[in-house]
Chains A and B, each alone.
Chain A
Amino acid sequence: MTPLPLNQQLLNACAALLLLLSFAMLSQRRIVSLVNLFAVQGAVIAATTLLVAWRTGETHLYFSAALTLALKVAFLPWLLHRLIRRLEVRWDTEPLLDISGTMLAGIVIVVFAFGLAEPITHLASTSMRNAIGIAVAVVLLAFLMMITRRKAMSQVIGFLSMENGLFFGAMSATYGMPMIVELGVALDVLVAVLVLGVFFFQIREQFDSLDLHHLERLGERR
């Protein structure tokens, strides 16, 4: 085994931590904790970006890290906490079907994602190409989370977590996207959360709850 340089080891540790956080989000019942986990995920991604920027000397990654820190660690969690307070869903928990089952499904998904990323890994030339598999796994786990959840709030967090996974994938495959694309995506995410925040109030006004199962029925009125 060739000795890995220290920052490579740190990057690997960060990647592993991201995977772990995805599982933690999958099994978390309380919405407030879910938002906090999302903030931690953002922080880990910002740290990874910083490490990569320091290692490769790509200046635009510093901006990208700062953007992640501002948007995903500070602003979006703050906004979501505010929404939770305003919607008075602070102590809400969701009944999750079967945590052990979901976890096992998650493991299968991770294996699938690692297999899926294998050919891409051979194409990429970055030093952290091994982490592409983890990025794909984070995206798919966020999908799984959106499928298993009913509440609008946790679906939005699943969506944001998926974006985190994509960002991480872009970074591990090609050291990040061009600055203009990253700015565009950041703006998109911001606007999406703002619009969805308005939707929350509408949904609750209409159905008296944030349970999205009410939206599955067609028709004029319930």
Chain B
Amino acid sequence: MRPAAYISQSLEIAVALAAAPLFLGWVNQCRAWLANRSAPSVLLPYRNIRKLFHKDAVLAENASALFRIAPYVVFGTMVVAAGIIPSLSGRLPLVAAADAIALVGLFGTARVFLSLAAMDVGTAFGTLGARREMMVGFLAEPALLMVIFVASLISATTALPAISAHLAGARLVIDPSLAFTAVAFTLVLLAENARIPVDNPATHLELTMIHEAMLLEYSARHLALMEWAAALRLFNYACIGFALFVPWGIAAGNVGPLGLTLAIPILALKLAVAGAGLALIETLSAKLRIMRAPEFLATAFLFAVLGLLVHVLLGGP
């Protein structure tokens, strides 16, 4: 592999690390505008992370080593995931090691560590959040896998850059199976990133919280890493969505530095639109009771399976 591929690989990870908090800030700003509040700065997540890194970490007395390792594991898996999702370029050396199914496994690893760490200290809130997270996760995972299966079936490969390149190469078509899977993917994105119909990201003390409940015991650099990882997860999910459903503009093949620099504003545009759309969905929907979450995710699964069936029936040559 030539060094150009490594450059695009490291550039992609760097962009993901840098842009993830910005994307989160942008979504929060859109939400504030839609709710007619004065918006916080888009840079707020950066300041928050910086502030947290400068603080002294406090650990619970009975916290085990797992509690301390978890933030690094969660952050690390998210960085690796960012490395194998084609957001800027299709030429990624890391992809040889992990395909789309392994990507789902990476998200699963992060979820397991997050939940175990939350249960480690033994507070009521942490355990509650961990259990809910696992419930949402085990229902969202098959739906996400099914979404990836549909895309793989269409393009006959499980490597994300190849899928993305194949879908971008296709003519501009009205493909019902991809439309269904896009809806399924949006539902999974909302559930997995603790967005509004399933969880409220803006709350810190509420009986129904899921993600925040797991972070209650964390402080300082651990918390910073966890929050950064959460922003990265949202960014990664958005990029998977782009790779599958709006794959145009990702630099493929030997395009050189010009193609890469051109891919950055396109990605920024997609992120801006996606962030505004996400904020709109969140503003329009009300939070579901936790017992309704399985129904929500069953709908996502149903959409993905319908996409698969419709592809089998109608999509054939």
Q: Interface residues, chain A, CB within 8 Å of chain B?
A: 1-4, 9-10, 12-13, 15-17, 19-20, 23, 27, 99-100, 103-104, 106-107, 110-111, 114, 130-131, 133-134
Return chain B residues, CB-CB under 8 Å to A3. 171
Partner of A16, one of B177, B299, B316: B177
CB-based contact A12/B309 at 8 Å: no
Q: Beta-carbon contacts of B147-178 to A below 8 Å, as 1s and 0s?
A: 00000000000000000000000010111110
Q: How many A-B residue pairs have CB under 8 A?
A: 61
- Name the interface size band of chain B: 20 to 34
Give complex CA distance A106, B295 in Å. 14
Residues of B within 8 A of A (CB): 171, 173-177, 179-180, 294-295, 298-299, 302, 305-306, 309-310, 312-314, 316-317
Q: Which residue of B lies closest to A110 (CB)?
A: B309
CB distance from B86 to the nearest CB of A (A): 22
16 more CB-based (< 8 A) A-B contacts, given A16-B180, A107-B309:
A3-B171, A9-B173, A9-B174, A9-B175, A10-B174, A16-B179, A16-B314, A19-B306, A23-B306, A27-B299, A100-B294, A103-B299, A103-B302, A107-B305, A130-B316, A133-B313
Looking at chain A's contact residues, the main secondary structure is: helix
Q: Is the CB of B176 within 8 A of A16?
A: yes
A99 adjacent to B309 (CB under 8 Å) = no
In the complex, what residues of B have CB within 8 A of residue A13's CB?
174, 176, 179
B314 touches A2 (CB 8 A): no
Set of chain A residues within 8 Å of B305, measured between Cβ atoms:
107
Residue in A17, A99, A100 whose Cβ sees the most chain B Cβ within 10 Å: A100
Q: Which residues of chain B are near A134, meaning CB under 8 Å?
A: 310, 313
A99 touches B295 (CB 8 A): yes
A22 to chain B, nearest CB (A): 10
A134 vs B313: C-alpha distance in the bound complex, in angstroms? 9
Instruction: Rank and list the top 4 A-B pairs by shortest CB-CB distance, nearest first.
Output: A16-B176, A100-B298, A12-B314, A1-B317
Contacts of A114 in B (CB 8 A): 309, 312-313
A2 CB, nearest partner CB in chain B, Å: 6
Q: Can you report 17 A-B residue pairs in the complex whose CB atoms are below 8 A from each other?
A: A2-B317, A3-B171, A9-B173, A12-B176, A13-B179, A15-B176, A15-B310, A16-B177, A19-B306, A23-B302, A27-B299, A110-B309, A114-B309, A130-B313, A131-B314, A133-B313, A134-B310
